[in-house]
Amino acid sequence: MNIKINKLPGPKSLKYLEFLKKHNGGYSDPYPFVFSGEGKGCYFKDMDGNVFLDFASQIASNPLGYNHPNLVNVLRKYRNTPIKYAGQDFNVKEHAELLEELLKITPNGLDSAFFVNSGAEAVENCIKISIRNRKKSGFGVCFKNSFHGRTLGALSFVTSKEIYTKGYWSFPKKNLAYNENAGEELRDIIKKEGADKIGFVIMEAIQGEGGYNIANKRMVNEIRKITKQYGIPFIADEVQAGMGRTGKWWAIENFNVIPDVMSSAKALQVGVCISSKKMFPNEVGAISSTWGGGSIIDLALGAETIRVIKKNKLLDKNKENGKYLLKVLNEYDMKNARGLGLMCAFDLKDKQLRDNVVIECLKNGLVLLGCGVKGVRLIPPYIVSKKEIDKAISIIDKAINKCKHKKFKHTGLICDYLECASSHT
């Protein structure tokens, strides 16, 4: 497939977009197209025949691209069967099969997992199992510019943008700087409040929505040292960065650290809380989920995704292509180019220019996401080629040169969409 843009939004897409704007309670200025189901590799087609190159991967949820043959075969296998069961109470083999594949790739000692529906639920249950036996605890510890999900527990530890938390109740928390000062700040909290008061420390090894900020290695190791010393559960949030995107199965592995608890979702196709068996409650019913462990297509797709990543050596490919992507970004003199594997970003002068560039790239067939205040994410599927990387960066470069002029302004129906390209998490 090749990029082909006729009109954005096209008439067929516009019909659905207008309906969703009127009736969707979670309407969020979406991208101005509706998927047709057609696509191959890093390309997809919308209902109006527009063809896009995807460097957003459904917000890091589509690691193998569109209509990967192995995943299509999985879907065909289940076309004549029920697709959902109440999986924690009524067992299906797909639950055990994904669990088996997942636990082959988890860090040493993390030998159990609990499947749920989403990344937010995964984080929520990581929090629950961490605080359950810490009777004296009264607050959790997170980092500035963090994002951990939109359910109330997970949302309480989101510090990246006020709009995400405005008007909602919040659990007590304390924030740490996302730099080398974090360890000292955590020790100060312990000295003042006592280690028993801390329910957990939760961290993204690479902050996602908050700006694709990569943790300082010294900071990560110091935080882990302190949490071990005082027996404070350390949660690694791997919802966006995990499942191989950084060139290792888990982003935290880039820092030679093993957490007590870990969340995953997105690329795994289901949400999951991962830990040692001893961290999970013994009492029946203490945690559960109706569809967790019962959405058999998602479970089967997750297991096959792990197998494909292994078989095709995509971890090594992500490392290689990630280095190439950063090299090309630096050759084009993109500001603050950064990343691990295929989790990369760069910054523009300000938010207005960033948003204009994301929209201009879309008009030229390249799908991107913003992050932080003025950052642009580059998170293509793991099967991306160097040729596609070159094509994407060329489109971005032309968009920047066009949008940086003072009098530049988008016109037409596309102005009704993508008000803030960074609001997608």
Angle CA(273)–CA(63)–CA(55) in degrees, nearest 5?
125
Q: Are residues 209 and 337 in the same domain?
A: no
Of the candidates 149, 29, 58, which has an alpha carbon nearest to the alpha carbon of residue 369?
Answer: 58
Give the Cβ contact number of residue 327 at 10 Å: 12
User: What's the predicted TM-score (pTM) here?
Assistant: 0.96
**At which of 273, 291, 311 does a domain end?**
311
Q: Are residues 299 and 319 in the same domain?
A: no
Distance CA 259, CA 255 (A): 11
Q: What domain range is 261 assigned to?
A: 76-311
Tell me the per-residue pLDDT of 145-187, one tens digit each, with 9 for 90 and over.
Answer: 999 999 999 999 999 999 999 999 999 999 999 999 999 999 9
**At which of 296, 311, 326 does a domain end?**
311
Please report whether residue 425 resides in a domain.
no
For the domain that residue 259 is a member of, what is the CATH number? 3.40.640.10
Please report whether residue 263 resides in a domain.
yes
CB proximity list for 29: less than 8 A, separation 6 or greater: 417, 418, 419, 420, 423
Please report whether residue 3 resides in a domain.
no
For the domain that residue 357 is a member of, what is the CATH number? 3.90.1150.10
Strand partners, 182: none
Q: Are strands 35-40 and 43-46 parallel, antiparallel or unpaired?
A: antiparallel
Q: Are residues 255 and 393 in the same domain?
A: no
Of the candidates 161, 256, 172, 241, which has an alpha carbon nearest to the alpha carbon of residue 204?
Answer: 241
Q: Are strands 112-116 and 43-46 parallel, antiparallel or unpaired?
A: unpaired
Please report whether residue 62 resides in a domain.
no
If phi > 0 it is left, if psi is from -120 to 50 it is alpha, else beta; for residue 418 that is left
Whole-number pLDDT of residue 186: 98
Q: Are residues 210 and 295 in the same domain?
A: yes
Q: Are residues 293 and 325 in the same domain?
A: no
Contact in structure between 368 and 361 (CB atoms under 8 Å):
yes
Tell me how far apart the terminal alpha carbons of the chain are, to the nearest angstrom. 28
Distance CA 315, CA 248 (A): 6
CA distances from 350 to 326, 335, 346, 370, 418 (A): 21, 11, 12, 12, 16
Whole-number pLDDT of residue 420: 47
CB proximity list for 282: less than 8 A, separation 6 or greater: none
Strand partners, 347: 335, 375
Q: Are residues 258 and 155 in the same domain?
A: yes
Angle CA(118)–CA(214)–CA(350) in degrees, nearest 5?
95
CA distances from 69 to 202, 265, 363 (A): 37, 22, 29
Q: Are strands 234-237 and 271-275 parallel, antiparallel or unpaired?
A: unpaired
Query: Domain total for the chain?
Result: 2
Count the alpha carbons within 13 Å of 173 in the hemisphere toward its beta carbon: 22
Q: Are residues 15 and 156 in the same domain?
A: no
Q: Are residues 335 and 284 in the same domain?
A: no
Residue 302 sits at φ, ψ, to 5 deg, of -60, -45
Spell out, as residue ranges, where the chain has pLDDT lower than 70: 419-425
Please report whether residue 424 resides in a domain.
no
Please report whether residue 69 resides in a domain.
no
Please report whether residue 1 resides in a domain.
no
Q: Are residues 47 and 83 in the same domain?
A: no
Whole-number pLDDT of residue 247: 98
Q: Are strands 139-143 and 335-340 parallel, antiparallel or unpaired?
A: unpaired
Q: Are residues 322 and 303 in the same domain?
A: no
Kindly state the percentage of the chain with pLDDT values over 70. 98
Whole-number pLDDT of residue 370: 96
Please report whether residue 234 resides in a domain.
yes
Q: Are residues 207 and 126 in the same domain?
A: yes
Q: Are residues 223 and 268 in the same domain?
A: yes
**At which of 284, 311, 338 does a domain end?**
311
